[in-house]
């Protein structure tokens, strides 16, 4: 609860819809570790402090953020770090930089992808000073405040052109984390895979924007196994293959519809829930993924128990697994 002096001091911004008393408390619950110098840093600090947020100016702007990690981890208040590109490696953070006279400010919060932030800020020069620096400093303060108030998406960015025009930057479609697939789509996928039992089933998730749909595929493994058991030693109960022509047709249809491949899914009727060594080899035969940015999903079936799902996403040179909660089947 704000004190009477605080209500008097912050009266103007208490009136704002996204602020109010709870928002003002949230602004005061953040401690900004500001690793920016010059006009950018001075302006950001002034706006943040006048808005009720504590700011700690770091004397080592541009230094290795590894030295700062104790600061990030030990503060009682919620820390938000602000720095020039590449910025700190973890935590809630704002990263600032410039390229060709255009300034960019990127903000990452809980649920945001560090790899996407690194990609968006890679190779940026340090921000400039003067009037551009003042303008960028106000945007830094704004993005910190949006994050403190809980109204910022996991990743957001703003660009300032050479003539001072401000525009929002679209966050990249993240391919470093498992895609967000609606439960009803996962349920449809599991039903399709269940129909293939006792063989492995396979399907593809394609999407445009936030909309994702299932494209059921046929497991052609048994036909290949019968024709060429040396090249295809395993039957469909333990392996899957999509006919090349069907795969090509899928890729063409996806492109024509303006969609993209989101994930390749297959089932393990034997109950193995992990993305196996064989799966990894098939998905990245030469040590690099055949379909960069496309996730893999394994659905394990176990008699008498619900299916178990696991994502496998290519991150930092290998497939990283994570759980994919599946909806209960009726």
Partner 1 sequence: MSPDARIDITGEVCPMTFVRTKVALERLPVGGVLEVRLRGDEPLKNVPESARDAGHTVLGLEPLEDGTWRLLLRREAGPC
Span near partner 1 by CB under 8 A; candidates 16-24, 33-41, 61-69, 286-294: 16-24
Run of H or E residues at 239: none
Q: Which of 3, 5, 15, 256 is the binder for partner 1 (CB under 8 A)?
A: 15
How many residues comprise the chain? 330
Locate 111 and state its tokens: 């649920």
Q: Are 21 and 154 in contact (CB under 8 A)?
A: no
Q: Which of 1, 76, 163, 256 is the binder for partner 1 (CB under 8 A)?
A: 1
- Does residue 18 interact with partner 1 by CB under 8 A? yes
Span near partner 1 by CB under 8 A; candidates 8-16, 58-66, 168-176, 239-247: 8-16
Residue 111: burial class (beta carbons within 10 Å; 0-12, 13-18, 19+): exposed
Q: How far apart are CA 43 and CA 128, in angstroms?
A: 13
- Does residue 50 interact with partner 1 by CB under 8 A? no
Span near partner 1 by CB under 8 A; candidates 10-18, 105-113, 240-248, 301-309: 10-18
Q: How far apart are CA 67 and CA 86, in angstroms?
A: 14
Tell me phi and psi for residue 20, to 5 degrees.
65, -170
- Does residue 165 interact with partner 1 by CB under 8 A? no
Q: Which of 7, 180, 226, 257 is the binder for partner 1 (CB under 8 A)?
A: 7
Q: Sheet containing 295-302: which strands, arranged edge to edge?
A: 211-217, 202-208, 260-268, 295-302, 305-315, 318-324
- Does residue 20 interact with partner 1 by CB under 8 A? yes
Span near partner 1 by CB under 8 A; candidates 18-26, 123-131, 218-226, 294-302: 18-26
Using CB under 8 A as the criterion, which residues of the chain lie in contact with partner 1 when the complex forms? 1-2, 7, 11-12, 14-15, 17-18, 20-22
């Amino acid at each position: 609860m704000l004190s009477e002096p605080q209500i008097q001091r912050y009266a103007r911004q208490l009136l704002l819809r996204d602020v109010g008393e709870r928002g003002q408390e949230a602004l005061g619950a953040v401690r900004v570790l500001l690793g920016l110098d010059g006009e950018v840093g001075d302006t950001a600090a002034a706006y943040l402090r006048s808005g009720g947020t504590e700011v700690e100016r770091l004397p080592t702007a541009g230094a290795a953020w590894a030295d700062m990690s104790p600061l990030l981890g030990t503060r009682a208040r919620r820390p938000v770090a602000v720095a020039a590109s590449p910025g700190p490696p973890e935590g809630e953070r704002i990263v600032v930089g410039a390229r060709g006279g255009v300034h960019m400010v990127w903000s990452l919060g809980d649920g945001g992808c560090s790899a996407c932030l690194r990609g968006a800020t890679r190779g940026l020069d340090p921000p400039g000073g003067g009037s551009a620096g003042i303008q960028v400093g106000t945007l830094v303060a704004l993005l910190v405040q949006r994050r403190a108030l809980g109204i910022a998406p996991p990743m957001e960015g703003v660009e300032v052109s050479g003539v001072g025009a401000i525009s929002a930057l679209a966050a990249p479609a993240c391919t470093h984390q498992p895609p967000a697939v609606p439960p009803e789509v996962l349920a449809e996928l599991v039903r399709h895979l269940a129909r293939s039992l006792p063989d492995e089933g396979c399907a593809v998730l394609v999407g445009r924007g936030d909309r994702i749909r299932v494209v059921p595929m046929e497991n052609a493994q048994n036909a290949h196994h019968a024709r060429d058991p040396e090249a295809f030693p395993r039957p469909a109960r333990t392996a899957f293959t999509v006919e090349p022509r069907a795969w090509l047709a899928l890729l063409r249809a996806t492109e024509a519809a303006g969609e993209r491949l989101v994930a390749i899914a297959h089932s393990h009727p034997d109950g193995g829930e992990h993305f196996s060594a064989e799966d990894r080899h098939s998905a990245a035969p030469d040590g690099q993924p055949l379909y960069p940015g496309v996730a893999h999903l394994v659905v394990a079936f176990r008699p008498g128990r619900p299916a178990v799902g696991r994502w496998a996403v290519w991150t930092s040179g290998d497939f990283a697994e994570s759980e994919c909660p599946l909806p209960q089947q009726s």
